[in-house]
Amino acid sequence: MYSFFPFARRTYREILRDPVSLIFGMAFPLVLMVILQIVCKNLSNQGLHVLECYEIDKLMIGISVYCFSFTSFYAGIRVSKDKNEGYIQRFYSSNLKLEDYVLGYIAPFLLITFMQSVMCVTTAFILDAILSLDKLHFGFNYILLIAMMIPCELVFICIGLMLGCSFRARESFAIFIGIILVTIMTGNIFFPASSFGNGYVIFCKILPFYPTVTALSCLLNGLSDAFPYYFVTIAYLVILLLLAVIIFRIKMYK
């Protein structure tokens, strides 16, 4: 049942061998959130209007999803490197099953994204207290928020596994930089999608990033508001997970 543990442990150790990238993926979004909140606080004190997406409760979720895109990048690069260096071929000759490979990659990256979620929410509460924003009030809904982020984290991890197994390391690097940019451009994180018109909003809703951010934002107001968007996220998760498994199976038989 837990036969994927040794492989997951090995993957986790490989991740820790590149601490600079890991720290950057966690620290940079948090520093960005701190800077943006300080700027927005100063603008508010001057009587200037601040976009809703920069309010701490909304930005906290947007930055969390932004962090997930970095994890997708690291997951894809890790898989593509293992494939290019011949590690995956050697793993296929072992007694591990297909699901062990998939879980062996998912488990360590899920742990990392979960830590990112907790750090983003914690940083947001600290900023709310220091800057006297009075936007966040700790309660069960924030614990539920962190738990509901897990499927959203898995969406990005599955994107990483699927593309990392399909492309070489060099190709993966460019593709995942694109994933990070698309997350920013269509996720309603740093600017409202509605500012580009209704057609752009419809386009954003087709991709998984906008529904993910919107579902988590709505979750703070109630499950009923979040459900339609969260359903889209779950649907993407099922599709991407199936695609990742299929691609791994194809590579295994090859």
Render pLDDT for 63-118 as a digit per residue (tens, 0 to 9).
989 888 888 888 888 888 877 766 666 666 667 777 778 888 898 999 989 988 99
CA distances 131 to 71, 127, 216, Å, are: 29, 6, 23
pLDDT at 235: 92
CA distances 40 to 35, 47, 53, 179, 243, Å, are: 9, 11, 11, 27, 41
**Mean pLDDT per segment of 10 residues, for the chain of length 254 residues?**
76 79 78 88 81 84 89 85 70 70 87 89 90 82 87 91 80 80 87 85 89 86 78 91 85 66
Number of domains within the chain: 1
Q: The domain containing residue 226 runs over which residues?
A: 5-253
pLDDT at 87: 65
Map residue 14 onto helix, strand or coil.
helix
